[in-house]
């Protein structure tokens, strides 16, 4: 899943979905079905996450972290930063007037 919306950014600054990092770091010797079995979820759940059809959930982050030795908080931060970056590109706020602050 190559994200082209962020090609204007240097590679080290491009947001990535957590699933992409999970694939790169932990799935060289393991299939999605094997990961699913190892963490006790359905193969379709892992397939949807790895293909970008569904986001990483807190429950999956906890289970993947337990299996890989990582932190579920880190996985969720990575996913949240990616989803927020997408939303910032796709959300039109041009018609929203900023609230005026009243000085006391």
Please state which of the four CATH numbers 1.10.10.10, 3.10.300.10, 1.10.260.40, 3.30.70.20 is assigned to the domain occupying 15-90: 1.10.260.40
DSSP state, 72? H
Closest to 65 measured CA to CA, from 102, 2, 57, 9: 57
Instruction: Output the pTM of the full model.
Output: 0.78
User: Which tens digits make up the pLDDT trace of 11-70?
Assistant: 677 788 899 888 888 788 899 999 999 999 999 999 999 998 999 999 999 999 999 888
Cα distances (Å, whole numbers) of residue 93 to 43, 49, 81, 86, 98: 38, 29, 19, 14, 10
């Amino acid at each position: 899943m190559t994200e082209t919306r962020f090609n204007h950014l240097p590679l080290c600054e491009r947001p990535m979905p957590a699933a992409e990092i999970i694939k790169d770091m932990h799935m060289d010797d393991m299939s999605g079905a094997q990961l699913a079995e190892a963490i006790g979820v359905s193969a379709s759940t892992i397939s949807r996450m790895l293909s970008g059809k569904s986001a990483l959930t807190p429950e999956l982050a906890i289970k993947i972290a337990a299996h890989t030795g990582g932190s579920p908080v880190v996985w969720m931060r990575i996913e949240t930063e990616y989803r927020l970056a997408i939303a910032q590109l796709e959300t039109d706020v041009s018609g929203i007037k900023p609230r005026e602050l009243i000085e006391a």
